[in-house]
């Protein structure tokens, strides 16, 4: 049973560029959340998608946007990258009707230079 | 969601029980206590959650005080692979609610 799959695992981008990160949820899960984790800190909630719509959003600027597809997979897009966007980006999936716990992927390490 | 307080770090000898405390003095009646852990370079992993009764699963036990203002996660026989950052999170049940992570406790299991 595949868990949450994220791609790519590592990425290096230049300031001002745009990036797209991808996430495939665990089989049977229909809700996807994205988190940003800076070095040495706990993950910070970016937003959550359910039924292809953004349901909840954390304190992140509009440069951060996302999408959920009919197969429940999701993308996180970040525009106009800043050095401060360098972090581990985590995707977590859950089931709206199942046990209330999240399954996390191993993340995408984004470095902005 | 209620705020939690955890010690920044703890050590535990391999094979011994690891007892990780968490204070959540402002917890509301409908808020659950969740524990996740994050092993280096991996995503957080769900461990256990509870409302007011003690809970046990194959990974750990969760002891919640009667007034629900604090809890303890117990790993009965810690191994080197239990070395991780452990996060105590208090939140209302419901998948629409995000997880609010604090700084957690870095548990180091020593050989």
**pLDDT tens-digit map of A77-104:** 999 999 999 999 999 999 888 777 899 9
- Whether residue A89 contacts residue A77, with contact meaning beta carbons closer than 8 Å, is answered with no
Q: What is the DSSP letter of A98?
A: S
| pLDDT tens for each residue of B88-104 | 999 887 656 788 898 99
d(CA B33, CA B64): 8
**For the residues A41-47, what does the mean pLDDT come to?**
95
Looking at residue A97, what is its pLDDT? 81
d(CA A38, CA A69): 27
Confidence of residue A5 (pLDDT cuts 50, 70, 90): very high
- Whether residue B73 contacts residue B48, with contact meaning beta carbons closer than 8 Å, is answered with yes
Q: Contacts of residue A44 in chain B, CB cutoff 8 Å?
A: 101
Question: Please, which residues have CB within 8 angstroms of residue A59's CB and are 6 or more apart in sequence?
Answer: none
**For the residues A41-69, what does the mean pLDDT come to?**
95
With an 8 Å Cβ cutoff, is A66 touching chain B?
no
Q: Which residue of A has its CA nearest to B85?
A: A42
| pLDDT tens for each residue of B62-83 | 999 999 999 999 999 999 999 9
Q: Contacts of residue B94 in chain A, CB cutoff 8 Å?
A: 100
- Which residue among A90, A102, A105 places its CB closest to the CB of B46? A102
């Amino acid at each position: 049973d595949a868990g949450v799959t994220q791609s790519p695992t590592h990425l290096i981008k230049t300031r001002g560029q745009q990036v797209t990160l991808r996430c495939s949820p665990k089989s049977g899960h229909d809700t996807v959340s994205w988190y940003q984790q800076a070095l040495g800190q706990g993950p910070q909630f970016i937003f959550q998608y359910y039924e292809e719509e953004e349901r909840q959003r954390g304190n992140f600027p509009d440069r951060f946007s996302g999408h959920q597809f009919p197969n429940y997979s999701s993308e996180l897009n970040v525009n106009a990258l800043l050095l401060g966007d360098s972090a581990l980006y985590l995707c977590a999936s859950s089931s709206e009707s199942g046990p209330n716990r999240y399954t996390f992927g191993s993340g995408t390490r984004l470095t902005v230079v | 969601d209620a705020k939690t307080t955890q010690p920044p770090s703890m050590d535990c000898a391999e094979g011994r029980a690891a007892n990780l405390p968490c204070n959540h003095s402002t917890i509301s009646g409908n808020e659950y206590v969740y524990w996740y852990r994050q092993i280096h370079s991996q995503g957080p992993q769900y461990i256990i959650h509870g409302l007011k009764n003690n809970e046990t699963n194959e990974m750990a036990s969760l002891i919640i005080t009667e007034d629900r203002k604090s809890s303890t996660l117990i790993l009965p026989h810690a191994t080197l692979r239990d070395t991780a950052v452990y996060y105590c999170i208090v939140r209302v049940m419901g998948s629409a609610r995000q997880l609010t992570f604090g700084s957690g406790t870095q548990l180091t299991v020593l050989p």
